[in-house]
Structure 1
């Protein structure tokens, strides 16, 4: 039986590869604020996660999603038992919506603005996993070392905030930032609402172990 992570990955890959050679698929699914504002096509908050700009964009997102998503899904199944798969999907989908709300508010009548990709939802999965396992080593492109996840998280968020303010590179950095934040917030909400697991205490304990306190 396929895991939820693999099902999402395969579905995203199939639709993305279809869209690479079919402009209509892109136009129908891409996040386009005026289409939401004028035609109430709210589905675009989610459908844009199924398409990507090019194969490298798709591969990078799905590689990160598979590496972190597999770990997060397994732990959701352990923490939440039978509710695990549902809450895992909920985190992915809700984060994808939340991460695009700032972009929508800023560009709801901007006919030149479009966005695509699952980066916001993937960021949510990555950071929820990092919050559960802050000492897990994370590699950084072009740097031949792995650093603890919580350190990587601070670096990533700092760079993302800077790039979002600077703009001009056609990348929706705010979606990455708000996706990451929503992943952590949803993890906390789910844990306190549906389990006895304390993610904050778990995080603090691991950091104390790392720092020797």
Structure 2
């Protein structure tokens, strides 16, 4: 239910901002304004707006694909809705910290999208089911743990390469947060994870 509510709000706000540049700039993550004007709300609101329909659909489809499963998993594990919300929005905030520090003096830097939060949800699912299949390039099914490693390597490579207007650092840090978050909630889960590799 929470997953669908977040998707609904994100779709509506993103669609409104497609035609409202003033609102878009008010909600986007602009580290300079967050720091200089204490507009810390941007660490959350930027995750509800997207650059275009493709950006929105890719993020929301991925979130729906793994979010509904993770929402139920967190309930089943006894963590509840609160933990699931911390996973999503915590991933969004953690994914923004790098940009916040690096671009705090750049008034022209803008970042948007739920990619950090979605990466957190995706990697939390990999933690709980490392051998579950994920479609690589939306075609080839590979184990989630292999997908995760390839994803992180790709994010780091593309971050250093640059030039594609995609915030790969947000993807990377959101993913790392999502993977370790269950361990922060319950450290004994690490033993269960390792046992799935015969360790």
Interval of TM-score (by shorter of Structure 1 and Structure 2): over 0.9
* Residues 1:119 and 2:115 aligned together: yes
Structure 1 segments, 4+ long, off by >4 Å, are: none
Match of 2:98 among 98, 102, 117: 102
* Residue of structure 1 equivalent to 2:158: 163
1:191-210 correspondence to structure 2 within 5 Å: 191-192=186-187, 198-208=188-198
Question: Match of 2:77, SS?
Answer: helix
* Cα separation, 1, equivalents of 2:99 and 2:31: 8
Task: Confirm whether residue 84 of structure 1 aligns to residue 80 of structure 2.
Answer: yes
Shift of 1:12: 0.6
Aligned counterpart for 1:5 among listed residues 3, 6, 9 = 3
- Map of 1:75 onto structure 2: 73
Compute the TM-score of the two structures, normalised by the length of structure 1.
0.90
Alpha-carbon distance in structure 2 between the residues aligned to 1:5 and 1:118: 13
1:16-57 Cα distance to aligned partner (Å, 9 max, x none): 111111111101100001111221100000000000000010
Equivalenced residue count is: 199
Unaligned runs of 5+ in 1: 193-197
Map of 2:131 onto structure 1:
135
Is the 1:134–1:150 contact (alpha carbons within 8 Å) kept by the matching residues of 2?
A: yes
The answer as to whether partners of 1:135 and 1:207 remain within 8 angstroms in 2 is no
**Is 1:134–1:207's contact at 8 Å kept on the other side of the alignment?**
no
Deviation (angstroms), 1:70: 0.7
Q: Which of the residues 123, 136, 149 maps onto 1:154?
A: 149
Cα deviation for residue 207 of structure 1 reads 2.8
Residue equivalent to 1:195: none
TM-score between both structures, scaled by the size of structure 2: 0.96
